[in-house]
Amino acid sequence: MKIFLSKITLALKKICCIGAGYVGGPTMAVIANNCPESKVTVVDLDIEKIANWNNHDLTKLPVYEPGLKDIIKKNRNKNLFFTTNIKSAVSEADIIFISVNTPTKIKGLGAGYASDLKWVESSARTVGEFSSGHTIVVEKSTVPVRTAELIKKILSSYITNSDKLPIKTFSVLSSPEFLAEGTALKDLENPDRVLIGGEDEKAINQLSLLYQKWIPKDKIFVTNVWSSELSKLTANAFLAQRISSINSISSICEPTGADIKEVARAIGADSRIGKKFLNAGPGFGGSCFQKDLLNLIYLCRFYRLEEVANYWEQVILLNEWQKTRISKLIIETFFGTISSKKLALLGFSFKSNTNDTRESPAIKIARELLENGADLCIHDPQVSESQVAKELNRNDYKTMKIPNESNWSFTNNLKSAFENADAVIIVTEWEEYFRINWKMMSNLMRRPSWVFDTRGIIKDDNLIGTNLNFWKIGKGFIDL
Ligand code: NAD
Ligand code: UGA
């Protein structure tokens, strides 16, 4: 039986979160919803983002997550606030969550591997400067092991003992976030576990009581700080490894006549393996798997564990290979010539139910097709055209050459994506792509026409009688 502490008065009345992104926004909305007696303030430097969190039109919220609009509507401006007034929110807070971005460094020592902690550092300085009294500071961002030490060091330079000033002290805890995008609210409301890493028992207890408002106590694990930080990197490394493993097997299925769905079902029935996270696809995307693996690899090399670093690096290499193998296969299907062919790319977010495009496999696949002269028509139900443009033109440490004559368009209308297309490529498993009426839509395409299903979502039977040529991940070309 779940026992929650709804009757217990929390010591943490004023809660602040620095960073109003994919983690900060939904996480604080769930805390506000479950702790009505606390005031939760989410702050960010990004004026436009905060304006959108406050927008009356809830379709303009900066994050798309199922259920998010409702929970924001219910709590916003009651006990949940979004503001750029960082000073005031920090100074009144009993507890501050740091949920800022920690991307891979693009220059300097460790570029391409280590996490850039400048946003965490600047948050710590802000807390140091504006906080008052005793403040619990919680690392919610995913960080390299021993970052709490860095935060403590920064904060310690702000500790005041003077008679005239109120004494300023801090307790630093680690409590990494395990939510997945697209299911963020479900994950936050009913997590498998939450971690609290720290030394200060009083602070641990206060944070635990906050979580216990809606999370059973046996799901709250208390560890030392370094285990907490390392567990977050390890969880993402294991999950990413699982996807590279199933994707590697998908490539063996295709030439051998095995079917990846059947293989996944067969191995997943072994309770030691488990059936979740065994969907072969175009490679994992999202802001974290690659970044956190790179971070882990950097840490291994730092401690001179070269073999361990190489082991984890292979997960990323396989992931890159999977994306390229798909674009190559498409190009080779057209005998090497896709210039002036209209290819409809369905889905640009890195997975369904999110508008997030960070590290989406669609980016690399689209770029490789554009480099080969394709006329790409991109469709996504939640991603905006400007976001697609940003991703296709972004230059970063590992960017391939940006196509000179980019020839792509964007549409929200599935029909116009299909019209005169030579091929349709499913890259994201959006619900509406499961429901495509292939008999009707294939008539809009130019003949001969192709479908490449990189998510394995189309039932073979749905294409019978369509004249479509069909390739499916982990099954290969299928005779209909
Ligand atoms: P995000 O980029 O969506 O949001 C971070 C926000 O922090 C931005 O809006 C940025 O403007 C703001 N910010 C940066 N420095 C600031 C400062 N000094 N003061 C105020 N605001 C500042 O990032 P995210 O996806 O929410 O991820 C945040 C952290 O959580 C990362 O470390 C990530 O690895 C981790 N994480 C992310 C997810 C996810 O699903 N996205 C899940 C678990 C953990
Ligand atoms: C992932 C983890 O699942 C979260 O626990 C973690 O908190 C988060 O990273 C983080 O640290 O940011 P997320 O990236 O949002 O969450 O989404 P996932 O559902 O894990 O998917 C990641 C990628 O793997 C997506 O591109 C998805 O399409 C792909 N994937 C996932 C597959 O190709 N096959 C699968 O079976 C599962």
10-residue averages of pLDDT along the chain (480 residues): 50 93 98 97 98 97 96 98 98 97 95 96 98 96 94 92 76 98 97 98 97 98 97 98 98 98 98 98 97 97 98 98 98 95 98 96 96 96 94 65 70 97 98 97 97 98 95 96
Contacts of 106 (CB under 8 A, 6+ apart): 112, 116, 396, 397
Q: Which amino acid is at 148?
A: A
What strand order describes the sheet that includes 342-346?
408-411, 375-379, 342-346, 423-426, 449-453, 468-472, 476-478
Q: Is the CB of 98 under 6 A from ligand 1?
A: no
**How far is Cα 79 from Cα 77, in angstroms, rounded to an integer?**
6
The pairing of beta strand 423-426 with beta strand 408-411:
unpaired
pLDDT of residue 138: 98
Which atom belonging to ligand 2 lies closest to the Cα atom of 281? 33
Q: Which tokens go with 335?
A: 């005998």
Contacts of 417 (CB under 8 A, 6+ apart): 344, 346, 377, 378, 379, 411, 424
The residues carrying an active-site annotation are: 288
Across 418-473, where does the E strand assignment appear? 423-426, 449-453, 468-472
User: Rounded to whole angstroms, what are the CA distances from 393 to 101, 283, 370, 386?
Assistant: 21, 21, 12, 11
pLDDT of residue 395: 61
Which residues form the pocket of ligand 2, taking CB atoms under 6 Å from any ligand atom?
A: 142, 177-181, 236, 239, 243, 277-279, 281, 284-286, 288-289, 350-351
Ligand lying nearest the CA atom of residue 183: 2
pLDDT of residue 165: 65
Q: Whose CA is nearest to atom 30 of ligand 2?
A: 284
Q: What is the pTM of this model?
A: 0.95
Ligand 1, pocket-test mutation among 27, 44, 183, most atoms within 8 A of CB: 44
Q: Within 10 Å of residue 79's Cβ, how many Cβ atoms? A: 17
Ligand 1, pocket-test mutation among 287, 294, 357, most atoms within 8 A of CB: 287
pLDDT of residue 147: 95
